[in-house]
Amino acid sequence: MSQSAPQRSLTASDIRARKGADPLVCLTAYTTPVAQLADADCDLVLVGDSVGMVLHGLPSTLGVTMEMMVLHGRAVARGLSRALMVVDMPFGSYEESPAQAFRNAAHLMAETGAGAVKLEGGAHMEDTIRFIVDRGIPVMAHIGLTPQAVNALGGYKVQGRGADADRILEDARAVTRAGAFSVVLEKVPAALADQITAGIDIPTVGIGASAGCDGQILVIDDMLGLFDAFKPKFVKRYGDLASEARTAIRTYAEEVRARSFPAPEHVFSQEEPGT
């Protein structure tokens, strides 16, 4: 009886070929167990620089380092067998020059086993994206609200309203010309997201954009309801893990204080065989 071939991981080319097909399912992950959970149903798993806020308690993504991205990238890689893993390039690792960007992108790829990197910025990053792609590293672009530029943008505001729509449109065209295999559209009006999706030949992945995008992505802690301090408008909670965790921890604490845990079935006797 022949054995089936091992499952092949998706590549950037596979994602690129999904333009206009079934929507791409994308989530973030930062740890091996969560990556294992996401792998079966996700086409793309992003090791996002959001890890700084989600797991490290930073006030923004600006303090995230290359070392942090390598650490979490390695962890996520151990949990994936199917989904494409994309690793974010952190703030300060690619803006100085195309050469700097390539060196750091190559480092992330080599150290984590990622299938692609993601960087923020549109027309002003066109030459940088092209430089990286021409040297064999797939790039996922990110336009609209770019959190690493939060100070320049004046906060986490919707981008592309009114006359500003032309800027976002040109950003989309620029990253497409540069050779990005896909582009994240964050926090832009739905009509603009639809216009971009129809007007470029690479997949768009929306987060606070439109159901008409070629795919969707959310921060997994938001989607699971594990982070509940606040909820952006574009987030739908598919679980309430924070509430469940608080209840479980409270019950555990009560049982420890009452000495009802560990119960007899959780402890070992002198006569019990094995471990």
Q: Which two tokens stand for residue 208?
A: 């606070």
109 found inside a domain? yes
Q: Is the pLDDT of residue 178 over 90?
A: yes
Binding site listing for 3-methyl-2-oxobutanoate: 49-50, 88, 118
DSSP count for the chain of H helices, then E strands: 11, 8
Specify whether 186 is catalytic.
yes
Domain that holds residue 196: 12-239
92 found inside a domain? yes
Three-state SS at 195: helix
**Cβ-based neighbour number of residue 81 at 10 Å:** 13
Exactly one of 186, 254, 255, 272 is catalytic; name it. Answer: 186
Q: What is the pLDDT of residues 47-90, one digit of tens each?
A: 999 999 999 999 999 999 999 999 999 999 999 999 999 999 99
Tell me the CATH number at 54. 3.20.20.60
Q: Is the pLDDT of residue 1 over 50?
A: no
204 found inside a domain? yes
249 found inside a domain? no
Binding site listing: 49-50, 88, 118, 120
242: left (phi over 0), alpha (psi -120 to 50) or beta: alpha
By C-alpha distance, which of 56, 173, 84, 163 is closest to 123? Answer: 173
126 found inside a domain? yes
226 found inside a domain? yes
AA letter at 38: A
Number of domains in the chain: 1
Buried b / exposed e along 146-180 (16+ C-beta atoms within 10 A) = bbbebeeeeeeebbbeeeebeebbebbbbbbebbb
What is the value of pTM for the model shown? Answer: 0.94
